[in-house]
């Protein structure tokens, strides 16, 4: 009788079961790592936007009315002084990170009051629970605050933003 070479069905099933067990352990950790990276990117993005808005106020004597105003055009910044409608203070990807094209899983917003003398900026997870768990915001003092409940209202209300925990505490 010839001896057969290869694996039996039982051996193959055991190998597949082991791979599935390893995947079940690794995938949740991968998702948590991605959420953590997205949240770090969002906090840095809000800090960048706040700094850019303060620079914009220094140059144009009022805060920017939207992210697009702070952003560079898709083709890049022209030489010379940029216009107040596209100040070239933040990159295009951050300036146009909306619900249709989020950046690192977050949607960004910048709002100035009607007088242009105060602003609120923030970032909310595009898919709460999957792309991030925190909401970030900042006002004129440049301090980035966060909310773990994902409260999108924190982005537009400066009083709500100030009541949240500052990063680092």
State how far the Cα of 124 lies from the Cα of 97, in Å rounded to an integer: 11
Give tens-digit pLDDT for 89-132.
898 888 888 878 899 999 998 888 888 788 888 899 988 888 99
Decide if 117 is inside a domain.
Answer: yes
Instruction: State the pLDDT confidence band at 151, using cuts at 50, 70 and 90.
Output: low
Residue 3 lies in a domain: no
Count up the domains in the chain and report the number: 1
pLDDT digit string, tens, across residues 64-96: 888 888 888 877 777 777 777 888 889 888 888
Handedness of CA 164, 136, 51, 58 (dihedral sign): negative
Query: Domain range holding 159?
Result: 9-166
Which residues, other chains included, contact 60 with Cβ-Cβ below 8 Å and sequence gap of 6+? 84, 87
pTM: 0.80
Does residue 86 belong to any structural domain of this protein? Answer: yes
Backbone angles phi, psi at 142, to 5 degrees: 80, 0
Any domain includes 1:
no
In this structure, are residues 95 and 70 in contact, taking their beta carbons and an 8 Å threshold? yes
């Amino acid at each position: 009788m010839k001896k057969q070479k290869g694996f039996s069905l039982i051996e193959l099933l055991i190998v597949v079961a082991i791979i599935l067990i390893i995947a079940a352990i690794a995938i949740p950790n991968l998702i948590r790592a991605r959420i953590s990276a997205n949240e770090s990117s969002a906090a840095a993005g809000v800090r960048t936007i706040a700094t850019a808005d303060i620079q914009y106020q220094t140059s144009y004597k009022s805060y920017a009315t939207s992210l697009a105003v702070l952003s560079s055009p898709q083709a890049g910044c022209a030489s010379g002084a940029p216009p107040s409608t596209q100040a070239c203070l933040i990159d295009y990807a951050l300036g146009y990170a909306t619900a249709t094209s989020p950046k690192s899983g977050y949607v960004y917003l910048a709002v100035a009051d009607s007088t242009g003398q105060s602003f609120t900026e923030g970032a909310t997870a595009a898919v709460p629970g999957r792309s991030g768990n925190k909401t970030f915001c900042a006002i004129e003092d440049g301090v980035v605050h966060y909310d773990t409940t994902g409260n999108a209202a924190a982005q537009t209300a400066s009083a709500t933003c100030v009541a949240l925990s500052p990063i680092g505490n």
